[in-house]
Structures are given as structure tokens and as C-alpha cells.
Amino acid sequence: MADLTTDFLGIKSPNPFWLASAPPTDKEYNVRRAFEAGWGGVVWKTLGEEGPPVVNVNGPRYGAIYGADRRLLGLNNIELITDRDLYTNLEEIKRVKADYPDRAVIVSIMVPCEEESWKAILPLVEETGADGIELNFGCPHGMSERGMGSAVGQVPEYIQMVAEWCKKYYSKPVIVKLTPNITDIRKPATAAKLGGADAVSLINTINSITSVDLDLMAPQPTIDGKGSHGGYCGPAVKPIALSMVSEIARNPETHGLPISGIGGVTTWRDAAEFMALGCGNVQVCTAAMTYGFRVVQEMISGLSSWMDEKGYTSTADFIGMAVPSVTDWQHLNLNYVTKARISQDDCIKCGRCYAACEDTSHQAISMSEDRTFEVIDEECVACNLCVNVCPVEGCITMEQLPKGATDPRTGQKVGDYANWTTHPNNPGAVKAAE
């Protein structure tokens, strides 16, 4: 079994699986249970200022979308930061950290964008002995209307300023949690770095309305006939999170800035993918909320045995390994030519590939009387749609044409690497020296 011990910003945890700041980490009872179940660390549910805590709605907070068989794919919430007293939380954090010195305990904070507020809360947090803080600049609802959360996260200058205050009034690592509700994720990440933050974590939830009740004519979850946009998370948001993570990882200005990956992590594989794109660890919320704390066992065993198979002895061996392979579209090899191949042995003859290609793509699949489906190489542009819609994994695959072969669609021979920047159709093509 590979060793999963992870060092993130000097904070050691027995594995890279942390619980994200959310209800699973809202109190001592939960966090103790989480640690007993094997979680490597937690980011405590976001704390607010001293004084009367925020209040949550008293009707439903969550909405969900499902795949087949009611598998939860996306979760939406209109919950706010912790609605428990600041000091209660601080005492609990201190107790838990003392009892679990080998686990990471990070405190998430969201207070108004004024230096005094941060100056007031940071020493209290420092006192708990927690390993670091995470600045919640991400909450898309409720708090942003009060000038906190994503209202700050959408203004890079504020991020930088608050990060600076935190570094000034707090001695341990500072992580800035980024909101995805922004056009270019590199900007807030750069601001965090400029402000001296030790790391960024992303993504927080995405603005969303999960569904509309067509009888009440109101968004769901519906509170007394009305609904509000909430924050979307769960397996459905993973692709968005991966892309944002990769942008930060490969951006020269933020390259090397430690990242804690969040968004839809449900199995070991999701975690490995985030880490391959440069994350030092991952945080999980929806998977735990859907299946309970025990899901971490599958993540631990899966990541560990995958590392064994690959010969990785430490998570550091593969963190960031896929970053160099993320490139801009214009650098992709246009001479990489593939054709779809349908395995007749595996085909169950549902015809979904045919419908997809015939109706919406390139008419590159033929169908015979006896429902045999075959690819017409002369028409196949290798778009992958048939692979994606086929219900049988591995039935349709993409086969690469070797160099020198003629692509029956274009009549051209497969040549050496060449991309759009030098392509004759590109008006801005860089001409080869004449």
C-alpha cells in the first residue's frame, strides 16, 4: 500500500482527502466522526464575525439533479456560513485539533471586507491551534449580498488586500478559496498570490437554479412559493473545476502556487485527476453529504492501489504531472488523425451511435438491415460523439491512422506534427521562412 501522507503548505495529513468547508465540518461531533472514518483533514465550516450568528432559512436548503436510478449528480444549496456562535466553534476547533494532532484542521473565515474585522478574528483563530485558514470568497448567495463571499471573490483587488491583512495578523498558512462565478479564474488566483496567500483552493459553488416547480411556478428548493439561486456542486461540476485548476496551474503568473482541488470529487479517480492537474490535495463535500463519511475508504484504497500499480511511492510523485499536457487549442496536432471503430463483438445494436452521427453529425455510420453498424472512414471526422453516446464501455474506440497513411476523408497523407498556427487556412499563420 502506497503511502498517502501528504504535505500541503507544511501541513501534514495522513491522506490528501480533506472535507471541504460545509455542513460535514460544521461541528465537533461531525468532525470527530469524519476523522474516525479516515478523513485526512477538514476545513471547518466558515466562521463569521463575533456577535449574533447568521440565520438560515427554515425551509428546504437543497435541490438536486439526478442521473438514471436517482443517482445524485448535482446538488444546489442556499445555506449560509455557520449559524452557530463564533466562540462555540472556536472551542470545538481547539478541542478537536488537540485530539487529532495528525489531521489537518483548517478554519474557513468570512468577515466583512474591513481590516478591523480580520484583525479581530485572526488572533482568536490562531489561538485554536488550527493548522491554517481558508478565506471564503466564494459563497454565491446570501453572503454576497452583504458584501462578503463571492462579492469579494469577484474583485481581485479585494482578494489581494484581504490576503495581505491575513498574512499580517496570522502566522500560519493562508489559503484563498476561489469562486468560479467569474470569467477568468486566473485573475483572482494571481491576486491571491500577490497578496501573499500560500495557496488557493477551488472551486466554491456555482450560481444555479436546479429546477422549477411547474405547479407553483417557482424555483426549487421553494420556500413559501419563492426560490433563490443557490450554489451548485457535486459530480456535475467537476469538469468546470478541473479546467479552472488547470488554468491556474499552467498560467506563468500562478504556476507553482499550491492548489487544493475542490468540486465533485467522488472517487479516488477524481482525486487523482485533480492532483495530476496540480492540486496538492483535494476537498470533498457533496460525496460525503450523499454517501456518508465512509466514502473516504474507497478513495484511500483506490488511490493507494493505483499508486502501487504505477510505481508512485508518494503523492508528490504525480502531483502536477498532467499540467504540461494542458495546452491551447491552437497547439494541438492537426495531423493526429483517428477513425471510430465499432467492435461488432461488443455491439448490442441499439443504434444510438447511428442516430447521433446520422442526425447530428457527419453521416459516417452505416446501418444494415440486420442492424450492423459500421463506420464509413470517408466521412468520419473522429468527433468522438459515437463513443460518448454508446452505452457499452469500450465498444467504440478511436484508432489512430499511422503516419504516411491516407485519410480516406481528406485524401491526404498523415504527416508530421502541424498545428493551426502554421495552417494555410489560418489568416494569421506564421509563414515558414521562405
Partner 1 sequence: MTDTRYASGVKPGRLSGEDIAANFTDMHPPLGDHEAAVAADRCYFCHDAPCVTACPTAIDIPLFIRQIQGGKPGDAGRTIFDQNILGGMCARVCPTETLCEEACVRNTAEEDPVEIGRLQRYATDTVMAGNTHPYTRAAPTGKRVAVVGAGPAGLACAHRLAMHGHEVTLYDARKKPGGLNEYGIAAYKTVDDFAAREVDWLLGIGGIKLETGVKLGEAFTIRELQEDFDAVFIGVGLGGVNRPGLPGETLDNTEDAVDFIARLRQANDKAALPVGKKVVVVGGGMTAVDAAVQAKMLGAESVSMVYRRGRDAMGASLFEQDHAAKNGVSIVTNAAPVGIAGQVVTEEITFVRTETGPDGKLTTTGEEFSREADQVLLAIGQKLDIASPRIEIENGKIKVSGPGRTNLERVWAGGDCTPGEDLTVVAVAEGRDAAEDMHTMLTEG
Q: Within 175-194, which residues bind partner 1 (CB under 8 A)? A: none
Q: What track of x and - describes contact with partner 1 for positions 259 through 278 (by CB under 8 A)?
A: --------xxx---------
To the nearest whole angstrom, how small is the minimum distance from the Cβ of residue 278 to partner 1? Answer: 22
Candidates 6, 13, 21, 260; binder of ligand FMN (CB under 6 A) is 21
Q: What, of partner 1, ligand FMN, none, does residue 205 touch, CB below 5 to 8 Å by kind?
A: ligand FMN
Distance of CA 211 to the CA centre of its chain: 22
Question: In angstroms, rounded to a whole number, what is the distance separating the alpha carbons of residues 292 and 72?
Answer: 13
- Residue 213 CB, nearest approach to partner 1 (Å): 25
Closest separation between CB of residue 390 and partner 1, Å?
11
Please enumerate in sequence order all residues whose Cβ is within 8 A of that of 63, keeping only pairs 6 or more positions apart, or say none: 75, 76, 77, 209, 210, 211, 220, 221, 230
Q: Is 149 left (phi over 0), alpha (psi -120 to 50) or beta?
A: left
**CA 340, CA 277: separation in Å to the nearest integer?**
28
Q: Smallest gap, in angstroms, from Cβ of residue 182 to ligand FMN?
A: 15
Q: What share of the chain is helix, strand, coil (3-state, %, to 5)?
A: 35, 20, 45
Binding mask 222-241 for ligand FMN (x = CB under 6 A): -----------xx--x----
349 forms part of the interface with partner 1 (CB under 8 A): no
When asked if residue 393 is in the footprint of partner 1 (CB under 8 A), the reply is yes
- The C-alpha atoms of residue 233 and residue 183 are separated, in whole angstroms, by 18
Q: Which of 90, 151, 295, 401 binds partner 1 (CB under 8 A)?
A: 295
Q: Does 197 bind ligand FMN (CB under 6 A)?
A: no
By CB under 6 A, residue 75 contacts ligand FMN: yes
Is position 211 an interface residue for partner 1 (rule: CB under 8 A)?
A: no
Distance CA(428)–CA(4), nearest Å, equals 48
Torsion 407-408-410-412 (CA) sign: positive
Residue given cell 499540467 in the structure block: 323
- CB-CB contact of 137 with 150 (8 Å): yes
Task: Give the binding range for ligand FMN (CB under 6 A) out of 99-107, 257-265, 299-307, 389-397.
Answer: 257-265
- Residue 292 binds: one of ligand FMN, partner 1, none (C-beta under 5 to 8 A by kind): partner 1
Q: Which stretch binds partner 1 (CB under 8 A): 36-44, 185-193, 211-219, 301-309?
A: 301-309
Side-chain-facing half-sphere of 138: CA atoms under 13 Å: 30
Shortest distance in whole angstroms from residue 73 CB to partner 1: 13
395 included as an active-site residue: no
Q: In the chain, what is the greatest distance between 2 CA atoms, to the nearest angstrom?
A: 77
* 345 forms part of the interface with partner 1 (CB under 8 A): no
Kind plus residue range of the DSSP H or E element containing 11: strand 11-13
Q: Which is nearer to partner 1, 64 or 113 (CB)?
A: 64
Q: Catalytic residue numbers?
A: 139
Interface residues toward partner 1, by CB under 8 A: 69, 71, 267-269, 291-292, 294-295, 297-298, 301-302, 305-306, 392-394
